Amino acid sequence: MSHTVTVDRWVLSSGASSFTSTFKFYFPAKFARTRHFGGTPIRASATSNASNESVTCNSLLCGRRALLSMTALSLVMPCDRVNNSFDAIAADESLRLREEIRKVLSKGKAAGVLRLVFHDAGTFEIDEKIGGMNGSIVLELDRPENKGLKKSVKILEKAKSQIDVVQPVPWADLIALAGAEAVSLCGGPSIPVQLGRIDSLVPDPEGKLPEESLDATSLKQCFERKGFSTQELVALSGAHTLGSKGFGSPVVFDNAYFKILMEKPWLSSAGMTSMVGLPSDRALVEDVECVRWISKYAEDQSLFFEDFKNAYTKLVDTGATWKK
């Protein structure tokens, strides 16, 4: 025999936001269980009569202990309901972070914030199992390759100070999410970012970022050591469409980077065109395998957006240490 179970007035609170849901499901007869979290008991029981059997769990209030309470609910709630509720909590947290990031981010600051992502995550090495998106960039700002990134960190510090009042956020999560917001703000794709990274307490080893002077072969080898294909290398390089490297508007995220690479303006002696891009940018268009992807992205911006979104997600997830 099974019984209808109703969970009503279920309120989850994360920061200043909340939601209420009511669910019905089936539960074995002759069941009674009570669990205590903090000072509030959570009781589930089943009773039987001729016309109606029901269980009601009332007023489960969860603040910062929402995830703990969700574990308790797994005792009486179907798995799909619990999973959906975890997803809702994560979405709520992500939305709150994005809102604070938008308050301090502008199109003019987007390139610097996106560069911060690459310099934090770009230290990852598969064989050595080091680096990755771990927030250690805030400990590495005095390194020559990170020149200028202090400004981007200060921008995000403003958002972090507001977020930490409600619940501390790791630098790794904040930077990963801020980079995605920078892309979206400038007209690029919307990029989902999973939360739950753990910050490193020590700097990553030096010399792990790709050098600007590398040729295409060396670049491909460097990215291969980090777990990225040639296609992903080219897609991620498209981030250089933002900023002052000469690839179209410095505040618009589009496929202008690839169109201009195909034109090779640095071969011209006219004006400032010889200053377009970094040596590593120019090297890509001299490689047959890279050119295949450069030409595809120059012709199809939607394809570039989709591949960049996937490569960015991989970049900020690979090598990260996650909360359990």
Q: Quick check: 270 pLDDT over 90?
A: no
- Which residues does the annotation mark as catalytic? 119
How far is residue 185's CA from residue 37's CA, in Å, rounded to a whole number? 42
Which pLDDT tens digit goes with each residue over 296-305?
A: 999 999 999 9
39 in a structural domain: no
261: tokens are 């690479």
Q: Which residues pair with 4 in a beta bridge?
A: 26, 54
Position 64 in a domain:
no
What is the rounded distance in angstroms from the CA atom of residue 148 to the CA atom of residue 157?
15
CA distance readout (Å), 193 to 90, 295, 312: 10, 28, 9
Residue 20 lies in a domain: no
Query: What integer pLDDT is reported at residue 91 of this predicted model?
Result: 73
Residue 246's pLDDT is what? Answer: 87
Model confidence pTM above 0.85: no
- pLDDT reported for residue 87: 61
CATH number of domain containing 157: 1.10.520.10
Give the distance from CA 146 to its chain's centroid: 21
Distances from the Cα of 46 to the Cαs of 9, 26, 35, 61, 166, in angstroms? 18, 10, 15, 22, 38
Q: Could you tell me the two tokens for 194? A: 């999973």
Task: Report how many domains make up the chain.
Answer: 1
CB 239 within 8 A of CB 118: yes
How high is the pLDDT of residue 83?
53
Domain assignment present for 103? yes
Decide if 234 is inside a domain.
Answer: yes
Residue 59 pLDDT: 34
Q: Name the residue among 38, 48, 47, 46 with its Cα closest to residue 72.
A: 38
**Is 13 among the domain residues?**
no
pLDDT tens per residue, range 58-84: 333 334 444 444 444 444 455 555 456
Q: What is the pLDDT of residues 17-47, one digit of tens each?
A: 333 343 433 334 443 444 333 333 333 333 3
On whether residue 187 sits in a domain, the answer given is yes
Residues, the chain: 324
The Cα 104–Cα 228 span in angstroms is 31
Domain interval for residue 309:
93-317
Residue type, position 16, single letter: A
pLDDT band of residue 106 (cuts 50, 70, 90) is very high
In a domain, 192, yes or no: yes
